[in-house]
Amino acid sequence: MTDQQDVLYSVDAHVATITLNRPDRQNTISGPMLAALSDYLLKADRDQDVRAIVITGSGKFFCAGLDLRGGGISSGLSNQRSSPATLDLRNTPPTVLHNLDTPTIAALNGSAAGYGMDLALGCDIRIMADTAKLAAAFTKRGVLPESGGTWILPRLIGWSKASELIFTGRTLSAAECLDWGLISHVYNSNELQDAATRLGREIAANAPLAVQGSKRMMRMGMNETFNDHVHHVYLQLLPLFQSDDFKEGMQSFMEKRDPDFKGS
């Protein structure tokens, strides 16, 4: 069992914050923590009051990877009695994170390595403290990016850059991450959490059904032809035109005031 305080969860002003809370172990993730992380992600996604999710860490690290000493791999990613044909990864954090409709923000308060890097890459938006680093140390440990990195990185920064990063196992500074297009912004470490909160609330101020629909269409569009995609976008628009939030958006625009969206 894991201490329930190893992963913290809170909601404020429509923004859920999930905090990895093992600073004495560099926020490495044990098997039970993987389950808790998935549970909190799903809880936030089901909560109609939550319109954005921030994932961060406590202390000096975001996440230094799986806790190999604590059974992070054997408990969380595989079962020794399972064969590859029966392995079920549907409820593991990378898969859960990818399928969420609620926007996700990785607030990299400190360095992320291995699984921690893949966790950050799985979020929609990444912001980073100026003291933080991303360490793609997989091949230096005799493994590969097991939690989405091989799928995300080529789409995020192109084949050549992704190959360079994965094959060399290089560590990138915050400035290099920004230059490579891996993150959106770099902040002073003392300002990062406030910046994440502001960004979450800026997202939350918009019509949640429209935001979620936009994310869903972006995700689908990564594997669709253009013609198929525009058809799906049109089908997504039809129920939005019938929503109270669409009416509120139009009315608030005409009245030159801030909208008050209810998510309905």
Answer yes or no: pTM beyond 0.85. Answer: yes
Of 163, 188, 204, the residue at which a domain comes to its end is 204
| Secondary structure class of 57 (helix, strand, coil) | strand
pLDDT digits (tens, 9 = 90+) for 99-113: 999 999 999 999 999
Q: Is 53 helix (H, G, I), strand (E, B) or coil?
A: strand
Minimal CA–CA distance to 11: which of 63, 56, 47, 57? Answer: 47
How does residue 52 score in pLDDT terms, banded at 50, 70 and 90? very high
What sign results for the dihedral spanned by CA atoms 44, 64, 6, 38? positive
Quick: pLDDT tens for 214-245: 999 999 998 899 999 999 998 989 999 999 99
Is residue 9 domain-shared with residue 48, that is, in the same domain?
yes
pLDDT at position 144 is 82
134 and 173 belong to one structural domain: yes
Whether residues 190 and 225 share a domain: the answer is no
Return the amino acid letter for 258: D
Q: What is the CATH number of the domain that holds 89?
A: 3.90.226.10
Residues 12, 138 within the same domain: yes
245 in the same domain as 183:
no
Q: Do 14 and 134 belong to one domain?
A: yes
The helix/strand/coil state of 238 is: helix
For 253, the 3-state DSSP assignment is helix
CA-based nearest residue to 53, from 108, 10, 21: 10
C-alpha 121: how far from its chain's center?
7
Q: Is residue 259 part of a domain?
A: no
CA 67 to chain centre: 20
Domain that holds residue 250: 208-254
What are 224's two structure tokens?
Answer: 């669709």
Split into its structural domains, the chain has a count of 2
Q: Are 65 and 115 in contact (CB under 8 A)?
A: yes
